[in-house]
Amino acid sequence: MDHNAAFQAYETAALSAIAAATDAAGLEKVRIEFLGKKQGQLKDLQAVVGKVAADQRPAVGKLFNDVRDKVTAALEERQKLLEKPKKSLTAIDIALPGTEFKLGKRHPLTQTMEDFKDIIGRFGFTVADGPEIEDEYHNFKALNIPDDHPARDPLENFYLSTASYAAGQPLQPRLLRSQTSTVQIRVMEQQQPPIRIVSLGRVYRPDTIDATHSCMFHQMEGLMIGADVTMAQLKTVLRLFATTYLGQDVTIRFRPSFFPFTEPSVEVDMSWGKDWLEIGGAGMVDPNVLKAVGYDPEVVTGFAFGLGIERFCMRRHQIKDIRRFYENDVRFLAQF
């Protein structure tokens, strides 16, 4: 008879049954089945030891004791594990002191941008995204900004590096975008009219930081291109947008201005108490910009606008200093 096979079969079956037991009652049934002295498989295994020849009995007896001890130890370990109290994820430890949990809130600028998307979406505009690190073509040239324009002065931008070279060919310098109008160019390069999109995000200019200026701020740029887009539509969109976000008591005015990428161009101001605060620029898309992306200015026209998100948020919540948005003072941010 193969004694080793019998002991191995017993051990395998016992350990498997112990591991499968999920409560004390089930484990007790396993104990009776495999370790019960009056009945069960252990008694049958003892009978095997009694039947072997006298000269083999010491070795077989030792094997029996080893298997029994191993199964007994596994049973006791499983019993301890099942006796441990189970922790509930929803249980409250009443012995602990009370704790006030303060949930975080979205930054007021994030809230403003979400509101902008909701309002402008009702006007049929969809949101387009683009990179914050740009090349000179999309940031300047395609927007009809000539090489000698003051806006291209290295001191008026955040260039990441000077021109680098690869295989003897110069690469365009890279800079942090100074306006989200770059997204408009990228959309027009890939899509034919009609177009009605807005782009929201960070822009960077080395302005002197004060109560209404920052070297990093947020813009929402809008673009509408079609067969018969007019200045009247642009002014209507901006007035409706401003009153929807700020309320009917806000007054919007338009001042003639100049931008290389729009013609005619206007500055947009909003009333704030007895004063006026500039909130952006707008105008009809310059024909040179349309030509740069392959559009025919004799067939399509369009308008574009850029609005300062911080200034809208300041006006709505009566915040007097733009720097408060970036100080990370929880006492200030928690109010919104």
- Secondary structure of residue 78 in the 3-state scheme: helix
Give the number of other CB atoms < 10 A from CB of residue 278. 14
Question: CATH 3.40.50.720: does it fit domain 108-333?
Answer: no
Per-residue model confidence (pLDDT) at position 88 = 56
- Secondary structure of residue 318 in the 3-state scheme: coil
b/e for 54-84, b at 16 or more Cβ within 10 A? Answer: eeeeeebeebbeebbeebeebbeebeeeeee
Q: Beta-strand (E) ranges in the chain?
A: 126-127, 133-135, 165-166, 169-170, 174-176, 195-204, 216-226, 252-259, 262-272, 275-285, 301-308
217 neighbors 201 (Cβ within 8 angstroms): no
Tell me if the bond preceding 194 is cis, omega within 30° of 0: yes
Per-residue model confidence (pLDDT) at position 39 = 67
Query: pTM (2 decimals)?
Result: 0.65
Q: Residue ranges per domain, the chain?
A: 3-83, 108-333
- What one-letter code names the amino acid at 93? D
Per-residue model confidence (pLDDT) at position 163 = 52
Per-residue model confidence (pLDDT) at position 90 = 60
Per-residue model confidence (pLDDT) at position 162 = 55
Beta bridge partners of 79: none
Give the residue among 29, 33, 54 at the shortest CA–CA distance from 42: 33
Per-residue pLDDT of the chain (336 residues; tens, 9 = 90+): 566 777 788 888 888 888 888 888 888 888 888 877 766 777 777 777 777 777 777 887 788 788 888 888 888 888 888 887 665 556 666 676 666 667 778 899 999 999 999 999 999 999 999 999 999 999 999 999 998 888 888 888 999 865 555 555 566 788 999 999 999 999 999 999 999 999 999 999 998 888 888 999 999 999 999 999 999 999 999 999 999 999 988 999 999 999 999 999 999 999 888 889 898 999 999 999 999 999 999 999 999 999 999 999 999 999 999 999 999 888 888 888
Per-residue model confidence (pLDDT) at position 71 = 84
